[in-house]
Structure 1
């Protein structure tokens, strides 16, 4: 993000009002804009230069060039490290990366092997790791351990639910069919929650950095970390719900009407189209439920953070932290 560029002058958080949900939706639509995948290292170097000029007072107003530079950095660079996020794991690539996986999960009649292949949460593990708060990074050993547990949990949930539905009694065949189509939703949601908490467990155990208004670190807070990780897990549920529920139910209806008797290829293309439209439509709304940069009253955090003062001697009453995406 642009906030990774140092300077004495604070940056405007967004060109849209982040205190309103609609303002956050518009901001999230920008950072998840797939056209940002075309941003080159030369573009980023130029963007950093423009933002640096603003932060040092050489650029006195937020010009269109400034907003373009900020958008490029916000969608491509990690706010804590200043490093470029690997392309497949950026929010601007989220729809494209997840389209294939989601479509595969929603394919009717998946067997155990197919469920294991598509339910594998490797992509989400990578995204959660790449976009997490980096004030307390994991070691390679922790990353490998958490990855193994997260993938095992996601596959176990998916296979378990897939085997449970056919054994349910006292339900109609149509209800069993609908439940079978919704198994991927339950698997993705439950595994996604496990995934987020495992991959960001260090933050909860050790705390994340919280900052005063001018960007100076006040200390680390486990309570802020729990809030950040919990909200991220909830946003994953909000994002997955329409994507994993609407397409399979709409496809089920289409298979009884216009797609009845059509080749499997046509049905898969219809499925892919439904998933793609839903993904593109809901992502900004899901990301915007909780602000990425959040403030919290110091009184709600650990006692050791109470009474902290700024460099000019003022008592810190409000601190800020990066929730992660």
Structure 2
């Protein structure tokens, strides 16, 4: 993000009002803009130069070039490390990266092997995205990463396979209801495993605390309470994001297969499924990402006692601090 560029002057958080949900939606639309994937190394260098000029007072007013530079950095660079996030794991690539995996999970009639394969693929992608976009106060070791990844995959596969075996055995349920429930099995697996995934991948943040900063960006200390809030909100945002993508397309597809797609070939049905997934994903992603602000403000009175009475560089007692929730 642009905040990774150092300088004595603060940056405006966004051209939109992030204290409102609609402002965050518009901001997240920019972060998730797939056209930002075309940003080159040269573009990033120019963007950093523009932001650095603003932070050092050389550029005194925001301009269209400034906002474009900020958008490029916000969608490409990690706010804690200043490093470029690997392209498939950026929020601007989220829909495209998830497209094949989501289509695979929502394919009707998957057997046990197919279900396990696509759940494994989905959790592998989730682990990579969570790791690439998490708060970097406590980098995770390779051993921890492998252990957490294994548990997340086991959880998702267990839920998916278990529900796939349970649904056909339900009694006093019509065939149509069983069909709908069967199409929602991937959603249940993704949601349950997604929550586990986030808490496993970011468990160190809760155990050790994350960095909290004053309004000028100076670190005040580390807070476990802020970490729990950050990780909990991220886990909930995964549920909010997955719900429309994993629920709307399969239910609409059931409807279409009973109507205009009835008797049509597999290729046409697959194309319709992909179209539903793409359309839903692009439509809902900014709304899901915007539910919770990425940078949040919290009063020190709500955090650990040892952070109370902290002072800024001017000797003024700090009343509130800020932290990066992560994505």
Smaller-chain TM-score bracket: over 0.9
TM-score, length of structure 1 as denominator length: 0.99
Residue in structure 1 matched with residue 163 of structure 2 by the alignment: 161
1:37 maps to: 37
- Equivalent in the alignment of 2:63: 63
The residue aligned with 2:101 is: 101
The structural deviation recorded for 1:26 is 0.4
Give the corresponding residue for 1:14.
14
Q: Deviations over 1:92-150 (max 9, x none)?
A: 00000111111111110111111111111100110000000001111111111111111
Aligned mates of 1:141, 1:104 — CA distance in 2:
29
Structure 2 match to 1:47: 47
TM-score normalized with structure 2 length: 0.98
1:260-304 CA-to-partner distances (Å, cap 9, x unmatched) read 000111111100000000000000000000000000000000111
1:56-87 residue CA offsets vs partner (Å, 9 max, x unmatched): 00000111111000000000000000000000
Task: Identify unmatched segments of 5+ residues in structure 1.
Answer: none
Cα distance in 1 between the residues matched to 2:300 and 2:188 = 37
Gaps of at least 5 residues in structure 2 are none
Task: Give the number of equivalent residue pairs.
Answer: 325
Partner of 1:293: 295
Which stretch shows the higher mean deviation, 75-84 or 116-125? 116-125
Matches within 5 A, 1:152-301: 152-301=154-303
CA distance in 2, matches of 1:25, 1:253: 30
Q: Which runs of 4+ in 1 moved over 6 A?
A: none
Deviations 1:168-198 (A, max 9, x none): 1111111111100110111111111011111
Matches within 5 A, 1:107-118: 107-118=107-118
Cα distance, 1:211 vs structure 2: 0.2
Q: Give how far 1:158 is off.
A: 1.2
